[in-house]
Amino acid sequence: MEGHAKRLFAGAAVAWGAVTITPPSRDFGRAISADVGPSDTLCLHKVVPCNYAHLYSGSFSWQSALLGEFGQNRRSITVTVVKGVATCDGTETDVNISKVGDQTYTTTEVGTIKGPGLFAIEFDYDEAGALVYLVTGACPSPQWQASLQRPVQPAELGNSYEEQSYNQPATAIGIDLTGNRSEPHPDTDQENGVSGSIRVTWSLKRS
């Protein structure tokens, strides 16, 4: 994906997939002792050191767009969660734009994102001592049409098909989690005419 993106945005300081969004610093490596139900008081050491995702069902999704003179990239991904088990469904569209003289040529490739995902819900205290939660979802890379050079990679934390809620305020461990965040795409480069946006939405309830 990285090489393809660099080709799409040749001449611009952009490498879609080479940059992973970095959330605010946090330490979710320890469990919090709290009663969140009669039989589910413990988080699981799965995906992350202390994961409460098995208590939740719902959805986690993101849509992004990156637009430049030489190409466009759009993603729309939904992670469906059933008691912590994540299934991904989405698409990614790459548009390559080239110019020869006065002629402009456009080619479009669509990839399908499907399969098991990774999912985590973490609770911890921030530096100010306030309780916060963090939702993380990761999906496989796309299956591209007529492309054998970009094999599907399984879901993995830290890859370019991961998104997060960032730290959000929580009133208690085990509460229903609903929210969204919107911001410029991390690969936006105004100097080179590259614009973009990303929106992440989640709705997760105790199951």
Q: In degrees to the nearest 10, what's the CA dihedral of 155, 158, 164, 170?
A: 110
3-state secondary structure labels for all residues of 98-157? EEECCEEEEEEEEEEEEEEEEEEEEEEECCCCCEEEEEEEECCCCEECCCCCCCCCCCCC
Six token digits for residue 39? 């039989």
Backbone angles phi, psi at 164, to 5 degrees: -135, 160
Q: What is the mean pLDDT of each run of 10 residues along the chain (207 residues)?
A: 37 35 40 41 89 97 94 97 98 92 90 97 96 98 80 92 97 96 94 95 96
Tally of structural domains, the chain: 1
Report d(CA 84, CA 75) in Å as an integer.
23
- Rounded distance, CA 53 to CA 83, Å? 7
- The string over 56-84, giving b where at least 16 C-beta atoms fall within 10 Å of a residue's C-beta and e elsewhere, is bbbebbbbbbbbbebbbbbbebbbbbeeb
Determine the residue type at 11: G
pLDDT value for 197:
97
Domain that holds residue 115: 2-206
For 8, phi then psi, to 5°, come to -60, -40
Instruction: Give the bridge partners for 179, in sequence order.
Output: 202
Q: Give the residues across from 83 on adjacent strands.
A: none
pLDDT of residue 14: 35
